[in-house]
């Protein structure tokens, strides 16, 4: 199983970043440049990537207390795909009003790493840009 972990510093207030991230309809805005569209129907989110690929995701949980969203990718490209995004505030960052986005992704087969990792890196850069104050 491949596990990817990204810890992304955000120049943003945690409450503001969480308010944006927690709403599934905002995901194309958060990841603008990587995603071009997102449609939500209940707990299913359909996202369109800039390269034209369309992926359906199921939102597993939106946890306001922990500022965490968990989701899975549906479809034939993965045997397993579970991911979460969490807004984290360190004590030091409370004074500055900054926070971090921690993004964890676990999937099978391992060979999909070559597809997922560049998208995750581009998504990390997009989130840092688009969630900034």
Q: What is the CATH number of the domain that holds 90?
A: 3.30.530.20
pLDDT for the residue 95: 64
Structure token digits, residue 65: 């207390």
Other C-beta atoms within 10 Å of 106: how many?
Answer: 14
Beta bridge partners of 37: 48
Tens-digit pLDDT profile for residues 16-38? 999 999 998 899 999 999 999 99
- Look up the domain containing 47 and give its range: 2-130
Question: Model's pTM, two decimal places?
Answer: 0.93
Sign of CA dihedral 60, 66, 28, 34: negative
Provide the domain count of the chain.
1
Q: Which residue has the higher pLDDT, 41 or 94?
A: 41
Tens-digit pLDDT profile for residues 90-133? 776 666 778 999 999 999 999 999 999 999 999 999 999 999 86
């Amino acid at each position: 199983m491949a596990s990817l972990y990204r810890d992304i510093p955000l120049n943003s207030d945690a409450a503001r970043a969480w308010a944006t991230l927690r709403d599934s309809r905002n995901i194309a805005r958060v990841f603008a440049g990587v995603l071009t569209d997102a449609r939500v129907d209940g707990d299913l989110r359909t996202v369109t990537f800039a390269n034209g690929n369309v992926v359906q995701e199921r939102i597993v949980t939106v946890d306001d207390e922990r500022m965490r969203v968990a989701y899975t990718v549906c479809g034939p490209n993965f045997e397993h795909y579970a991911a979460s995004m969490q807004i984290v505030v360190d004590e030091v960052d409370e004074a500055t009003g900054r926070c971090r986005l921690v993004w964890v992704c676990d999937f099978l087969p391992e060979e999909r790493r070559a597809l997922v990792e560049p998208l995750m890196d581009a998504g990390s850069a997009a989130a840092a840009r688009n969630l900034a104050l």
